[in-house]
């Protein structure tokens, strides 16, 4: 019966370890992972003692038991401090490790001298073995260590409960539960088993540890939410100008960064894991926006005026892999952009009162303003000089050939709008930090992830600039060019991984002009390619990077592209692409 109990405890602990592995997230505290390693070792040692056929085998299994017995309580204590967001300095942590190791080494003297155990007697009854022990002086130090770590854990839990609102109350309750169960079973387990007259020679601690693992699984399942939030918050804090607030699916407050708290001081009064609707200010702002978003996912952006500023609130789902677990609110200062938009709106309203003969002049001024903004953005990027002008001409050359065919039955206005929108394709780079944009070399993966945000950000800027324009078709074409010119035909592009004809035609055409310019132009991180090399890459990309149906039109446009680039690169005193054979 006792052996079955220990075997079951071991099996349950291994099953719980498997569940933990399935839930594992790289931001999990390492001490929790070690707890899931040490508990099965403890339960295995208990089973080995129970199955021991000799005194020596029982002593050896007991020494194994003290591996988990010594370090498990330390890992629990450090996990409690970590989850309660209490920092222990490195020296203190090292001292605790050294103290625990010293006690563990003392335990390994069992059977060699009388310092840890004065004596041991091996007994086997009803098919189960156990040791009757008389403790030595060093074992009292082990007890003192257990009580010390228990006291530290309880103190950290109590401090967080009364003083730290940024720690989830659910975590605090869950952390306290295994502490109490473990300490009771550690010091009174056998008395309890004897009192209920159930396996009186068995230890209660394996069952207590399995219960503790179940509690820690509940903690790590919830911890995914907070780790996702902290990851996003860390990224936002590095930028320094974006606020972030997160809520779970029941609109309980999860956390926010300092920027968000500065914009919404009422966040400081919220308690983590508590319903946000307890705060009147939240009901009129964040919760209202979230309700609109839940009713209509298209309502993921709203403007919020406060004091003398206007903030753009962007809402998205908070996801754990493929599971939606809550909501995230991004807050950016959109004051200057809104002032500019208001200025444009006012300017356009005044223009409507002008006589008809000035309409064309106004349109030209607007186009020049947009081109000027695009040129200004390009001026921040020290690797793409002349890129806007060259890609715009590249689009013009390609569309000249496409119009001659029948594969894409678009009207002339479409192609005119595309040529007009081409200079706006990289407007989103205005939101990319100079440290990344002006880096004189290739990007790291992290920097490239930041750079990729220029596509959706460019679409947003274009949308705001052209919002309210009479030419709705042009606005959509310009947004699509900015948003999707880095998508790939096979779905491997960004920002949304669109595939095939999901990618708007205008973005597919822009992609060829954009890549061609990048290949044959000199950049700070690479030399220019020959026309032959560039042509080979473009053609190889047909059906993968580019729409295969555009291939004949690119081939037809190739002589004009080469002639144009030969002229402009030479005039710019750049290293000209060496004209090579381009026949296919």
Mean pLDDT of 118-142: 85
- Look at 109-123, 162-176, 286-300 and tell me which has the smallest mean pLDDT: 162-176
Is 385's pLDDT higher than 60?
Answer: no
- At 464, the pLDDT band (50, 70, 90 cuts) reads confident
For 50, 52, 62, 119, the CA distances from 59, given in Å and listed in that order, are 11, 9, 5, 11
Q: Are 39 and 209 in contact (CB under 8 A)?
A: yes
Higher pLDDT, residue 350 or 295: 295
> Among the listed ranges 98-112, 462-476, 562-576, which one has the minimum average pLDDT value?
562-576
Q: What is the pLDDT of residue 399?
A: 93
pLDDT digits (tens, 9 = 90+) for 142-194: 889 888 988 998 898 888 888 877 777 777 888 888 888 788 777 765 666 66
Dist CA 453 CA 235 (whole Å): 13
Percent of the chain with pLDDT over 70: 84
In the chain, where the domains are located: 2-227, 240-333, 337-571
pLDDT digits (tens, 9 = 90+) for 201-239: 677 788 888 888 898 888 887 776 665 555 555 555 555
310 has which bridge partners?
305
Residue 455: CB atoms within 10 A of its CB come to 23
Which percentage of the chain shows pLDDT scores above 90? 24
**pLDDT the model gives residue 571:** 61
Instruction: Give the three-class secondary structure for 305.
Output: strand
What is the per-residue burial (b if ≥16 Cβ within 10 Å, else e) of 233-268? Answer: beebeeeeebbbbbbbeebbbbbbbebbeebbeebe
Residue 496 DSSP label: S
Q: Residue 553 has which token pair? A: 């039109």
Tell me what pLDDT residue 188 has. 66
pLDDT at 368: 60
Residue 184 pLDDT: 78
Mean pLDDT of 319-344: 83
Name the helix (H) or strand (E) containing 253: strand 253-256
Q: Summarize the confidence of residues 305-319 as an average pLDDT.
A: 89
pLDDT, residue 276, reads: 85
Question: How confident is the prediction for the chain on average, in pLDDT?
Answer: 82
Global pTM? 0.45
Do 532 and 546 contact (CB within 8 A), yes or no?
no
What is the C-alpha to C-alpha distance for residues 472 and 470, in angstroms, rounded to an integer?
Answer: 6
The side-by-side arrangement of strands in the sheet containing 323-333 is 253-256, 242-248, 323-333, 309-320, 301-306
Which residue would you say has higher pLDDT here, 579 or 52?
52
**Alpha-carbon distance 83 to 398, whole Å?**
59
CATH of the structural domain 240-333, one choice from 1.10.30.50, 3.40.50.880, 1.10.3720.10, 3.30.450.20: 3.30.450.20
Q: Which fold has domain 337-571?
A: Hypothetical protein af1432 (1.10.3210)
Q: pLDDT tens digits, residue range 437-446?
A: 777 777 888 8
Residue 355 — pLDDT band, cuts 50, 70, 90?
Answer: very low
Select the more confidently predicted residue: 277 or 312: 312
- Residue 25 pLDDT: 73
pLDDT over 70 (residue 449): yes
Dump pLDDT digits (tens) for 403-420: 998 889 888 899 999 998
pLDDT value at 264 more than 80: yes
In 270-383, the DSSP E strands lie at: 301-306, 309-320, 323-333
Cα→Cα distances 97→93, 299, 319, Å: 6, 53, 37
Give the pLDDT score at 509.
94
> Quick check: 583 pLDDT over 50?
no
Which SS3 state, helix, strand or coil, does residue 184 take? helix
Q: Where are the alpha helices (DSSP H) in 86-168?
A: 90-107, 137-163
Rg (CA), the chain: 34
3 state DSSP class of 159: helix
CB neighbours of residue 116 within 10 Å: 25
Query: 4 falls in which pLDDT band (50, 70, 90)?
Result: confident
pLDDT (average), residues 12-17? 92
Q: What's the confidence (pLDDT) of residue 584?
A: 31
Q: Residue for token digits 């690119």?
A: 554
Tokens of 358: 């000035």
CB under 8 Å, gap of 24 or more: what pairs does 467-470 form? 467/341, 468/345, 468/348, 469/348
Q: Do 504 and 496 form a contact (C-beta atoms < 8 A)?
A: no
Mind listing the pLDDT tens digit for each residue in 508-533? 999 999 999 989 987 766 678 899 99
Task: Check residues 123 and 195 and name the one with the higher pLDDT.
Answer: 123
Retrieve residue 6's tokens: 């220990």
Burial classification of residue 45, based on how many CB atoms lie within 10 Å of its CB (0-12 exposed, 13-18 middle, 19 or more buried): buried
The arithmetic mean of pLDDT across residues 320-339, rounded, is 84
Separation of first and last alpha carbons in the chain: 81
- Contacts of residue 351, defined as CB under 8 A and 6 or more positions apart, other chains included, come to 358, 359, 362
Q: How far is CA 153 from CA 6, 77, 81, 101, in A?
A: 28, 5, 7, 19
Query: Which pLDDT score, from 0 to 100, does residue 200 have?
Result: 61
- 247-261, 335-349, 570-584: lowest mean pLDDT where? 570-584
Q: Which CATH number fits domain 2-227: 3.90.1200, 1.10.10, 1.20.1070, 3.40.50?
A: 1.20.1070
Q: How confident is the model over 52-67, as a mean pLDDT?
A: 89
What pLDDT is stored for residue 163 in this prediction? 82
Q: How many CA atoms lie within 13 A of 407 on its CB side?
A: 12
Q: Which residue has the higher pLDDT, 191 or 104?
A: 104
In this structure, are strands 253-256 and 242-248 parallel, antiparallel, or unpaired?
antiparallel
The conformation of residue 268, written as its DSSP 8-state character, comes to: G
């Amino acid at each position: 019966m006792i052996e079955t109990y220990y075997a079951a405890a071991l099996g349950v602990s291994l099953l719980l370890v498997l569940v933990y592995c399935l839930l594992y997230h790289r931001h999990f505290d390492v001490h929790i992972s070690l707890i899931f390693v040490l508990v099965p070792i403890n339960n295995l040692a208990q089973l080995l003692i129970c199955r021991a056929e000799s005194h020596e085998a029982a002593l050896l299994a007991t020494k194994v038991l003290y591996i988990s017995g010594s370090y498990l309580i330390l890992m629990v204590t450090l996990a409690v401090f970590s989850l309660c967001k209490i920092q222990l300095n490195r020296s203190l942590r090292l001292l605790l490790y050294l103290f625990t190791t010293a006690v563990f080494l003392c335990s390994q003297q069992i059977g060699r001298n009388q310092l840890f155990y004065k004596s041991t007697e091996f007994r086997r009854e009803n098919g189960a073995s156990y040791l009757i022990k008389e403790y030595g002086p060093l074992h009292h130090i082990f007890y003192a260590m257990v009580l010390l770590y228990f006291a530290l854990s309880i103190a950290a839990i109590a401090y967080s409960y009364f003083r730290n609102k940024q720690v989830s109350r659910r975590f605090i309750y869950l952390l306290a539960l295994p502490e109490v169960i473990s300490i009771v079973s550690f010091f009174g387990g056998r008395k309890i088993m004897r009192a209920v007259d159930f396996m009186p020679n068995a230890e209660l601690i394996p069952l207590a540890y399995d219960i503790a693992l179940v509690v820690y699984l509940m903690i790590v399942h919830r911890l995914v939410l907070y780790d996702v939030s902290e990851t996003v918050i860390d990224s936002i804090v590095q930028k320094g100008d974006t606020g972030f607030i997160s809520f779970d699916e029941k609109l309980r407050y999860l956390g926010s960064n300092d920027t968000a708290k500065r914009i919404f001081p009422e966040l400081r009064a919220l308690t983590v894991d508590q319903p946000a609707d307890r705060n009147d200010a939240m009901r009129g702002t964040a919760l209202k926006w979230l309700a609109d978003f839940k009713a209509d996912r298209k309502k993921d952006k709203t403007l919020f005026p406060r004091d003398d500023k206007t903030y753009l609130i962007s809402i998205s789902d908070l996801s754990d892999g493929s599971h939606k677990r809550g909501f995230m609110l991004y807050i950016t200062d959109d004051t200057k952009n809104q002032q500019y938009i208001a200025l444009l709106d006012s300017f356009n309203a005044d223009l409507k009162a002008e006589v008809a003969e000035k309409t064309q002049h106004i349109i030209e001024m607007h186009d020049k303003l947009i081109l000027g903004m695009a040129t200004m953005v390009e001026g921040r990027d020290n690797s793409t000089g002349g890129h806007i002008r060259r890609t715009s001409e590249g689009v013009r050359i390609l569309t000249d050939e496409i119009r001659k065919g029948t594969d894409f039955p678009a009207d002339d206005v479409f192609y005119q709008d595309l040529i007009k929108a081409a200079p706006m394709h990289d407007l989103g780079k205005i939101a990319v930090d100079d440290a990344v944009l002006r880096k004189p070399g290739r990007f790291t993966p992290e920097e490239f992830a930041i750079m990729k945000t220029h596509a959706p950000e460019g679409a947003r800027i274009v949308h705001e600039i052209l919002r309210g324009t009479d030419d709705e078709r042009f606005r959509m074409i310009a947004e699509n060019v900015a948003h999707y010119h880095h998508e790939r035909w096979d779905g491997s592009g960004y920002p949304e991984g669109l595939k095939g004809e999901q990618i708007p035609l205008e973005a597919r055409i822009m992609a060829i002009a954009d890549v061609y310019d990048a290949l044959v132009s000199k950049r700070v991180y690479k030399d220019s390619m020959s026309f032959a090399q560039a042509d080979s890459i473009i053609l190889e990309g047909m059906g993968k990077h580019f729409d295969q149906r555009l291939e004949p039109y690119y081939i037809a446009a190739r002589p004009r592209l080469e002639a144009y680039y030969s002229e402009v690169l030479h005039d710019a005193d750049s290293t000209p692409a060496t004209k090579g054979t381009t026949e296919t």
